[in-house]
Amino acid sequence: MSYQNAHNDASTRPGMGATILIVEDEPAIATAIAQRLTSEGWRTEVARDGLSGVEAANRIKPDVVVLDVMLPGIDGLEVCRRIQAENPVPVLMLTARDDETDMLIGLGVGADDYMTKPFSMRELVARLKALLRRVDRAAQASNTSGADALITVGDVVIDRAQRRVHRGEEEIHLTPTEFELLVMLASSPKTVQTREHLLAEVWDWVDASGTRTVDSHIKALRRKLGADLIRTVHGVGYAFEPPAQ
Ligand code: CA
């Protein structure tokens, strides 16, 4: 098969041939995930502890990381921080309980999505496909050139081509999902966008069961960009409203 054919396959099936790093210390779970993801046409590598996970992420530059929270050595939170510090990559975090998910969201760890064990492999695959579509979309956005690439609202400048964000003189480093969410909000300033709408547009979710994932990323954006940019409309959603200059 020629390179051209391989490229066409990739464009008709988003995420086809992607590399997924699985960081999970329970062998049965790690093996089951790896087998399922391989059968979906993805390349997989398994790391069995936190430090190996960070090392593997730096070495293989995965398209997505599936990351268990409870790991020997350094835990998933620290792994997520170290991976994101080196190279922004989407992270889907596996948690043991719903309240653990809430705790992580509160901490704003920088994961793109969360799943609580036990989960179905079908659901995991669906979430990973959504993450990979986001990566594809981000790559397309970075082909945007010229004036279209720049969004300027107040003192916030978003460069979609370079995928860089500045507030005033300061450059703000965002994860891929935080960046997508900010672009969605800033593209329609002073407009309230519902959590369900943001979830559908940014995460490709069709149901509303993940709206707290939106909340966690809003928290992260506020922590990084300042608390005064995004207004909460209680019970509805969020609006991007920088203070008047
Ligand atoms: Ca574990």
pLDDT in tens, 48-77: 999 999 999 999 999 999 999 999 989 999
Dist. CA 24 → ligand 1 center (Å): 6
State which of 106, 140, 174 marks the end of a domain. 140
Instruction: Answer yes or no: do 149 and 217 share one domain.
Output: yes
Picking from 47-56, 118-127, 145-154, which range would have the lowest pLDDT averaged per residue?
145-154
Answer yes or no: do 28 and 132 share one domain.
Answer: yes
Q: How far is the CA of 70 from the centre of ligand 1 (A)?
A: 4
> Within a domain: residue 12?
no
Least confident of 25-34, 133-142, 160-169, 188-197: 133-142
pLDDT band at 101 (very low <50, low <70, confident <90, very high): confident
Q: How far is the CA of 94 from the centre of ligand 1 (A)?
A: 9
The answer to which of 37-41, 97-101, 132-136, 137-141 has the lowest mean pLDDT is 137-141
pLDDT higher at 144 or 40: 40
Residue ranges making up the domain that contains 35: 19-140
* CATH code of 157's domain: 1.10.10.10
Considering the domain architecture, whether residues 75 and 135 belong to the same structural domain is answered as yes
Q: Which of 106, 124, 140 marks a domain boundary?
A: 140
Instruction: Name the pLDDT band for 181 (thresholds 50, 70, 90).
Output: very high
The mean predicted confidence, pLDDT, of the chain is: 85
Q: How far is the CA of 201 from the centre of ligand 1 (A)?
A: 31
Tell me: do 104 and 195 sit in the same domain: no
Residue 217: inside a domain: yes
C-alpha 25 – ligand 1 centre gap (Å): 5
Q: Is the pLDDT of residue 8 over 70?
A: no
53 and 121 housed in the same domain: yes
Residue 92 shares a structural domain with residue 163: no
Residues 87 and 167 in one domain: no
pLDDT class of 99 with cuts at 50, 70, 90:
confident
Boundary residue ending a domain (140, 164, 195)? 140
Query: Is the domain of 149 the same as that of 230?
Result: yes
- Do both 227 and 168 map to the same domain? yes
Provide the pLDDT confidence category of residue 7 given band limits of 50, 70 and 90: very low
The number of distinct structural domains making up the chain is 2
**Are 23 and 64 in a shared domain?**
yes
Distance (Å) from CA 38 to ligand 1 centroid: 21
69: CA distance to ligand 1 center in Å?
6
Confidence of residue 245 (pLDDT cuts 50, 70, 90): low
**Which pTM does this prediction carry?**
0.76
Residue 13 lies in a domain: no
Clarify whether residues 164 and 97 are in a common domain: no
Q: How far is the CA of 26 from the centre of ligand 1 (A)?
A: 6
Better-predicted residue by pLDDT, 206 or 120:
120
Indicate whether 89 and 168 sit together in one domain. Answer: no
Angstrom distance (rounded) from CA 12 to CA 237: 33
